[in-house]
């Protein structure tokens, strides 16, 4: 029996009914859960016959299996969870179909590994080897055994996906907006106008309007707080529970998407 947010993985007609399964041999709890459509990284607690068990536990005939996510009932809060603690600082790997979400996360300052053409094996290895939270809407990818940290955004809308991820992983208090390059994921560093004047010779208005810029330590892209900064601040602030003023105070005079190499 599934509970809470895990019901999202079931067809509507099956969400409030017990599921009976027949098998020839004793399968593992993980196999039974994932056969129901739920990826194991979403599961935080499994009760077999009322007792907590791990994913390798073998299901016995007639045994009742109860499965919970992080939103388990308060009465079960004291039981040890199966989901590992999220890494500090928060690090993500995002599959190729969630490019807008990856961009939002980088804009908020989170280390986000994103390669549009990366295959599932590479994504899974990046998550496991670098302790990154894998974000994908591909259940099969989340079910890979080496993946321990992962979440499937329920919404198709990138802004709503960000809200989900922000709430699940405590992003508002950890965000450092406009501190990371949205193109290559490296960190930004403040530079003065003289340091970039030659490279921005074709942008005389920009050079006249701003004194301080930000430069990517990796790809060399240059950023400044143009109008796009205000639009992004106004949009992203409410999504993670911070206002645009907070974004300005966190990393002043750094902007996203108004950069040039």
pLDDT of res. 261: 37
Helix (H) or strand (E) segment spanning residue 178: none
Last residue of a domain, one of 47, 76, 105: 76
Q: Is the pLDDT score of 129 beyond 50?
A: yes
pTM for the full model?
Answer: 0.87
Q: At residue 194, what are phi and psi to the nearest 5 degrees? A: -60, -30
End position of a domain, from candidates 50, 76, 102: 76
**Average pLDDT, stretch 239-243?**
60
At 203, which helix (H) or strand (E)? Answer: none
* Per-residue model confidence (pLDDT) at position 258: 42
Q: Are residues 70 and 111 in the same domain?
A: no
Confidence class of residue 247 from pLDDT cuts 50, 70 and 90? very low
**Lowest mean pLDDT, pick from 161-165, 210-214, 256-260:** 256-260
CA proximity to 3, closest of 21, 20, 15, 19: 15
Give yes or no: residues 158 and 196 share one domain. Answer: no
Answer yes or no: is 81 within a domain.
no
- The SS3 of residue 206 is helix
- Quick one: 96 and 165 in the same domain? yes
| Residues 96 and 157 placed together within one structural domain of the fold | yes
Say how far apart CA 200 and CA 206 lie, in whole Å.
8
Tens of pLDDT, residues 61-117? 888 999 999 999 999 999 999 999 999 999 999 999 999 999 999 999 999 999 999
Whether residue 147 is found in the same domain as residue 205: no
Q: Is the pLDDT of residue 54 over 50?
A: yes
Query: What is the pLDDT averaged over residues 18-27?
Result: 74
Which range marks the domain in which residue 19 is found?
4-76
Tell me whether residue 249 is exposed, middle or buried, using C-beta atoms within 10 angstroms of its C-beta: 0 to 12, 13 to 18, 19 or more: exposed
Overall number of domains in the chain: 3
Per-residue pLDDT of 26-44, as tens digits, reads 899 999 999 989 999 999 9
Q: Is there a domain that residue 259 lies in?
A: no
Res 246 pLDDT > 90: no
Rounded CA separation 46/131 (Å): 23
Chain segment 180-205, per-residue pLDDT in tens: 999 999 999 999 888 888 888 888 88
Inside any domain, residue 160: yes
- pLDDT at position 55: 96
3-state SS, residue 133: strand
Tell me the pLDDT band of 231, cut-offs 50, 70 and 90.
confident
């Amino acid at each position: 029996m599934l509970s809470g947010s895990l019901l999202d993985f079931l067809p509507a007609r099956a969400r409030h009914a017990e599921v009976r399964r027949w098998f020839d041999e004793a399968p593992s709890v993980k196999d039974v859960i994932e056969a129901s459509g739920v990826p194991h990284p979403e599961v935080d607690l499994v009760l077999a016959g009322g007792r907590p068990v791990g994913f390798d536990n073998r299901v016995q005939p007639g045994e009742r299996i109860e499965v919970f996510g992080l939103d388990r009932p308060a009465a079960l809060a004291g039981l040890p969870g199966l989901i590992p603690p999220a890494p500090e600082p928060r690090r993500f790997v995002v599959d190729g179909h969630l490019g807008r979400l990856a961009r939002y996360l980088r804009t908020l300052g989170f280390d986000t590994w994103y390669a549009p053409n990366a295959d599932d094996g590479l994504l899974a290895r990046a998550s496991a080897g670098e302790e990154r939270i894998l974000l994908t809407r591909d259940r099969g990818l989340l079910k890979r055994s080496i993946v321990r940290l992962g979440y499937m955004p329920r919404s198709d809308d990138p802004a709503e996906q960000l809200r989900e991820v922000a709430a699940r992983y405590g992003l508002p208090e950890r965000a450092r907006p406009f501190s990371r390059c949205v193109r290559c994921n490296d960190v930004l560093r403040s530079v003065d106008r003289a340091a970039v004047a030659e490279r921005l010779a074709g942008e005389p208005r920009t050079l006249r309007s701003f004194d301080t810029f930000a430069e990517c330590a990796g790809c060399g892209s240059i950023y400044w707080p143009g109008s796009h900064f205000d639009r992004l601040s106004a949009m992203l602030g409410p999504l993670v529970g911070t206002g645009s003023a907070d974004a300005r105070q966190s990393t002043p005079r750094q902007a996203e998407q108004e950069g040039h190499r």
